[in-house]
Structure 1
Amino acid sequence: MEGSKVEKTFPIKYEWDIVAMRSEVREAARQHGFSELDQVRIVQSVSELARNVVHHAEEGLVHIELVDEDEKSGMRIVVQDFGPGIAELNQILRMSESPAAVEGYGLKQVRELMDDFSIRAVEGKGTCVAVSKWKEQSDSVDHQS
């Protein structure tokens, strides 16, 4: 299995599409060796991003892939919708920085749960969010004092 690429794309149009996708994403994360906590973070993030597709766009795609790069192993998730885009993206991202933010709260939550986060929107063409979660190399290295 070394060197093989694991990826899958899920069409998203309705809430029930999210339910089916969640279990497959969690299983892929589990099989790739993510901790229970990171599995929850990944599933919560992909659910939030997919919900944004259902609520703010007609439809979209969620693409997941397991990646190995720069001595790291993890999961990359790209969510692309085909809606109107986010006209005030910079303003929404700034508002999401506020502790009392309502607008943009889901994006803020995803940024906090995942290791890498990028978003781009083209007005009239849709929004694309890419996030990654990297597996911990060794808990003992991270927790030394």
Structure 2
Amino acid sequence: MEKSFPIKYEWDIVAIRKSVRELAREHGFSELNQARIVQSVSELASNVVHHAVEGMVQVESVQGEGKAGIRIIVQDFGPGIEDLDQIIRLSESPTSMEGYGLKQVRELMDEFSIRAVDGKGTYVSVTKWKDESDLRPSD
């Protein structure tokens, strides 16, 4: 499974959220993990709309070390994050509101990586692996 969604406007986020929730459900994630995945993609897509001109969200299934998951790659074509190291440090601070969205995404997902190229955009990759809650039969 691999799907891509262009993002340019606020209303694109609504359609992306709906599609990603459906993909996560089809992939066998629990409702709780679906919510975590959707919240993460929503935050990352909002960053594209607010800080860049446009971007792309790519969703793919992944396998690794006997586990299955979903990877979301969000890439924008904006100016990039000027001081990425500082934003990451601020996002790790319990008192700073700057970078809070990235902190939230890191906490909701199992893997997180971010790269920024000045003048060329920002690339964020997050992965959620299935856990015990995804293996329980639904009532």
TM-score by length of 1: 0.90
Q: Is 1:17 aligned to residue 12 of structure 2?
A: yes
Q: Is 1:43 aligned to residue 35 of structure 2?
A: no
List structure 1 segments (4+ residues) > 3 angstroms apart after TM superposition.
none
The 5 Å alignment of 1:25-40 reads 25-40=20-35
Aligned to 2:48: 53
**More moved, 36-45 vs 130-139:** 130-139
Aligned to 1:91: 86
* Structure showing greater Rg: 1
Deviations 1:86-118 (A, max 9, x none): 011000100111112111000000000000000
Percent identity over the alignment is 72
The count of corresponding residues between Structure 1 and Structure 2 is 134
Distance of 1:137 and 1:69 partners within structure 2: 16
Aligned to 2:125: 130
Distance of 1:29 and 1:73 partners within structure 2: 12
Partner residue of 1:73 out of 60, 68, 75 = 68
Structure 1 unaligned blocks of 5 or more: 1-5, 140-145
**More moved, 31-40 vs 65-74:** 65-74
Structure 2 unaligned blocks of 5 or more: 135-139
> What is the RMSD computed on CA atoms of the aligned residues?
1.1
TM-score by length of 2: 0.94
